Amino acid sequence: MDASWTKLIVAGNTEAVRRALLHLLQGPPFAGLSPGLRSDAEIVLAEVLNNIVEHAYAASAGNIEIRVRRQVGGLACQIRDHGAPMPGLSLPDGAFQPLGAIADLPEGGFGWFLIRNTVEDLQYRREGGANRLSFLLPYEQSKS
Amino acid sequence: MELLAKESGGILIIRATQDRIDAAGAIQFKDRMRDLTQTSAARRVVLDMSNIAFLDSSGLGAVVAVLKALAPDRKLELSGLTPTVQKVFRLTRMDSIFLIHEAMPDGLRHAG
């Protein structure tokens, strides 16, 4: 059964994102989830929100709007910001980077891989000067 | 970002006392780890992560950066990964790169 949306507006900086995650994960609709699903939710939301801080708001300041609700099959999440659009107006493919010699190990670029590995129905659109990202965090983790 | 270091039997043990390594603290973590490892000559560095409940990709990148900065002569090992941290290491396959201890080896506890 669909419930009402939990909404939160967060300033586009990493400190505010940290506080928002701590706050969000302690309340509905996250508080009642299994530890595994809460951990997936925290990983995905951290990557999504920090990507917005780092890239969309790299050259400007602004807020991030988060909406989450329980739905059939999972938690529906909608994230909106008013920063720079995704390059090419599409999401990074988040391909897995093969790990080689220690000196060549990647120190970044894990974010979209983690997001795509965990969520379903990932969609992005640019609309009215805003980035809108939506996805479903499934209750049953099919991928791993 | 609080890191406590202690050297014991040629091993530098660093215990993270905060509960997350995330985008807001990754650079500070990296800088502090560099300071602590530079003041020691120990070839093995063990990072006790048992207090870290959450690590994001920035935090993972910082841990990888420390490993790379110590290589090739010195090694960074990890200990006490909590479930969420373990998941991030497993998904990114970084668990195949690091030597990961389930808990601090006997005799190496109580750093700091």
Mean pLDDT confidence for B73-85: 97
pLDDT of amino acid B109? 59
Any chain A CB within 8 A of the CB of B27?
A: no
CA dihedral A130, B23, A41, A5 (to 10 degrees): -40
Considering only CB atoms, A107 lies closest to which of B56, B61, B91, namely B61
Per-residue pLDDT band for A140 (boundaries 50, 70, 90) equals confident
Q: Does B32 touch chain A (CB under 8 A)?
A: no
* Structural domains in chain A, sorted by start: 6-138 (3.30.565.10)
The domain segmentation of chain B, as residue ranges, is: 3-101
Q: How far apart are CA A106 and CA A1, in angstroms?
A: 42
Among candidate residues A23, A10, A99, the one with its CA nearest the CA of residue A49: A10
pLDDT tens profile A122-139: 999 999 999 999 999 999
Residues β-bridged to residue A131: A81, A126
Chain A residues touching residue B91 (CB < 8 angstroms): 113-114, 117, 144
Please give, rounded to a whole number of angstroms, the shortest distance from the CA of A124 to a CA of chain B. Answer: 21
Q: How far apart are CA B58 and CA A25, in angstroms?
A: 20
User: Which segments of A12-144 are extended strands (E)?
Assistant: 63-71, 74-81, 120-127, 130-138
* Residue B111, SS3 per DSSP: coil
Q: Which residues of A touch B28 (CB under 8 A)?
A: none
pLDDT of residue B112: 45
Tokens of A122: 């990932």
Cβ of B57 within 8 Å of Cβ of A117? The answer is no
- CATH number for the domain running over B3-101: 3.30.750.24
pLDDT at B106: 65
